[in-house]
A and B are shown apart, each in its own frame.
Chain A
Amino acid sequence: MSVLVVVEPDEGAEGGLSVVSRETLTLARAMPGGAAGLAAVLVGGVGAPDEAVLAHCREQGVDTLYVCGDERLERYAARAWAKVTGAAVEAGGAAYLVAGGTPRGNEVLAHVAATRGVPMATNVVAVVQEDPVEVERQVVGGAVLERVALSGSPAIASVAGHAVVPEASPTPGEAQVEQVAVELTEADLTAQVVRLEAREGGDTSALTGADVVVGAGRGVGGADRFADVEALAARLGGAVGVSRVVTSLGWRPHHEQVGQTGSRIAPDLYLACGISGAIQHWAGCSSSKTIIAVNTDGEAPMVTQARYAVLGDMHEVLPAVLAELGEP
């Protein structure tokens, strides 16, 4: 038995693998056979992997890293990548196929599951029984855990973001690179990205990768009342995040939304201002290392579940904080 993990390259400043991929590799080692036979397939990067990717794979105990050099994959096509992934399953005889619960991870796994007619469990947070395998996964925005039997050949699961803290394997892997050869058909490439358009000010990665996020909810009071929130985010070198009601009211763009249908964040500090803390919002921010709430309602879930809280109107508190901070 072995476990095959779909990993994604991260072209961010640190390079190498995405954090979610490292979290997923960490959880995969706890799966049956994962510690003894861990393999990975690199989805989204064509050709020879970067040394940073290989270093992360070795650190995580990956023995074999499957890659595909077909240049037709330079532009993303989920079905084609699912074919590569399926071929890697065959090559390594994987009993379990796992990916991070990212858009790419879920999409590629769903294609593999559909092709093979096997089940797929999403948002898994833990393996709770080994034989037969049973996992727990988040449902209803993370408010409820569902225990499911993980059947199928291979058994397929995606891992909820930030459910696991990435840790190096006690035994480094060899990360031997193996090429996967697949015959791609026209159908595999019909749904393929034709171009990527950069968005000015719409970079979600600024939010998901920020060490500090200053969040704002309905309590901000209007589209024209974000100056203090923006100023504090800038002063702390962080990003602005908002609750769903803020985007629903049209006060801020969707790419700033934190929550179940927005971005999931895990900053060192989440400073949540005027946010009540509905379940859907918690789904996106509960992995923050420290949460500080500023709210007029001392009983709001965001306040009671925060590490620190200030009671009061954010429009009184934030200017005072900015004044106290002074110039950098």
Chain B
Amino acid sequence: MTDVLVCVKRVPDASGEVVLTPDGSSVDGRYAGYTMSAHEECAVEIAASVAGESGGSVTVLTLGDDDSVEQLRAALAVGAHEAVRVDAVADDYGPADVAAAIAEVVRSREASGSGFGLVLVGNDAADTGDHQVGIRLAHLLDRPVVAGAQQVAISGDRVDVRVGTAAGTEVYDLPLPAVLTVLEGGVEPRYPNISGRMKAKKAPIEVVEPAVVPQGSGRLGLRVLPPPESNVELLGEGAAAAPRLVEVLREMGVVR
């Protein structure tokens, strides 16, 4: 039985225009939808699958304000059993702070006899792209860690991890407990069904106070790049544009 902790982050949905707050310190939430990172959607899927196969449980955790409950409920709707929110202003927390806050929750659960055999985090968040929370967490907990996990299988007290690379699939075999950072691409996140949504809506969310004083990320300010000036040259419309397009390809020297 493997109990899994999966950590998710509320991030601005960057599929639309990104607008900053007037002081340039963060993304203005009034103009952004929010979601969880694609990697974390896959982490939730892996957690649900691993726990389901072994009769274990999935606890989903986030660090943020009350609004981030939305992402916890999204995970509860697709298979997580419990949810924990570390009550904090996420922007005040750098990656080392987040890792320390998660480590405290893991230690606290261990002390109460309900530790996690596997901790999953996204490979990198869609907003800050830090690539380091999971690895810092592993060092704090003194556990092995693999980054970029795409497929995970538990066998007894070990975990088989597969990582896609340019050269092929790298296979790892680790002892539990372990930490994995999950990369999109190995599994298909499931969609919530109606009963999942209803259950998630009513599920209790445990709120804990952070046990760390955040040092921050060193952020001095943000700026949105102005949209590049369009200098597009229209080659034509429909099939009639083909000769001109091929002419351009020949000029570029890409036709063999």
The number of residue pairs between A and B whose CB atoms lie closer than 8 Å in the complex comes to 251
Given contacts A121-B218, A305-B232, A320-B242, contact A140 B166 (CB under 8 A): no
Given contacts A317-B238, A317-B242, contact A269 B252 (CB under 8 A): yes
Of all chain A residues, the one with the shortest Cβ separation from B95 is A120
A275–B45 alpha-carbon span in the complex (Å): 27
B192, CB-defined interface residue at 8 Å? no
Given contacts A205-B167, A305-B228, A312-B238, contact A139 B248 (CB under 8 A): no
**B223 with A304: CB separation less than 8 A:** no
B83, CB-defined interface residue at 8 Å? no
Neighbour of B173 across the interface among A106, A194, A202, CB < 8 A: A194
Given contacts A140-B127, A269-B252, A292-B248, contact A280 B94 (CB under 8 A): no
Neighbour of B131 across the interface among A158, A260, A323, CB < 8 A: A158
- Per-position contact with A for B200-225: 1 when CB-CB < 8 Å, else 0? 00000000000000000111111111
**A255 with B255: CB separation less than 8 A:** no
**A244 with B38: CB separation less than 8 A:** yes
Of all chain B residues, the one with the shortest Cβ separation from A312 is B238
A130–B42 alpha-carbon span in the complex (Å): 40
**B168 with A196: CB separation less than 8 A:** yes
* Contact-residue size bin, chain A (C-beta under 8 Å from the other chain): 35 or more
A279–B19 alpha-carbon span in the complex (Å): 13
**B220 with A147: CB separation less than 8 A:** yes
A314–B21 alpha-carbon span in the complex (Å): 39
**B218 with A254: CB separation less than 8 A:** no
**B234 with A143: CB separation less than 8 A:** no
Can you list 18 contacts pairing A with B, beta carbon distance less than 8 Å?
Answer: A106-B147, A114-B139, A141-B14, A147-B219, A158-B131, A195-B170, A197-B169, A202-B169, A204-B166, A278-B14, A278-B15, A293-B232, A305-B232, A307-B233, A310-B237, A311-B234, A317-B241, A324-B243
- Taking A236-B249, A317-B241 as known contacts, 11 extra A-B pairs with beta carbons closer than 8 A to each other, sorted by chain A number, are A101-B131, A106-B124, A120-B130, A122-B131, A203-B168, A260-B126, A279-B14, A305-B230, A308-B248, A324-B245, A325-B255
B residues contacting A by CB (< 8 A) are 12, 14-15, 18, 20, 27, 38-39, 94-96, 99, 124, 126-132, 135-136, 138-140, 144-148, 164-175, 178, 183-186, 188, 217-225, 227-228, 230-243, 245-246, 248-249, 252, 254-256
